[in-house]
């Protein structure tokens, strides 16, 4: 199994096999495909970061 996950929306993320296993189980729990779950998870994380930090990161 290739432990590198390449997302189609411009995100290039790499997970260990153990991390990918957790992502798969969480995606099943939320009844989403893994790609959609990862995209949703990243968007949720970005939305929780305070605005001043996101401005500084740009």
- Residue 9 has a pLDDT of 57
- Binned at pLDDT 50, 70 and 90, residue 56 comes out as low
pLDDT value of position 1: 43
Question: Cα(29)–Cα(21) distance, rounded to whole angstroms?
Answer: 12
- pLDDT tens, 21-55? 999 999 999 999 988 898 898 888 888 877 766 66
Domain boundaries, the chain: 4-57
Buried b / exposed e along 21-45 (16+ C-beta atoms within 10 A):
eebeeebeeeeeeeeebbbeeeeee
| pTM, entire model | 0.60
| Model confidence band, residue 14 (pLDDT cutoffs 50, 70, 90) | confident
Task: Find the helix or strand (DSSP H, E) in which 40 lies.
Answer: helix 34-48
């Amino acid at each position: 199994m290739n432990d590198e996950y390449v997302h189609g929306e411009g995100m290039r993320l790499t997970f260990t096999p153990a991390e990918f296993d957790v992502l798969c189980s969480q995606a099943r729990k939320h009844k989403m495909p893994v790609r959609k779950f990862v995209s949703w998870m990243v968007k949720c994380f970005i939305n929780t970061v305070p605005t001043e930090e996101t401005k500084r990161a740009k």
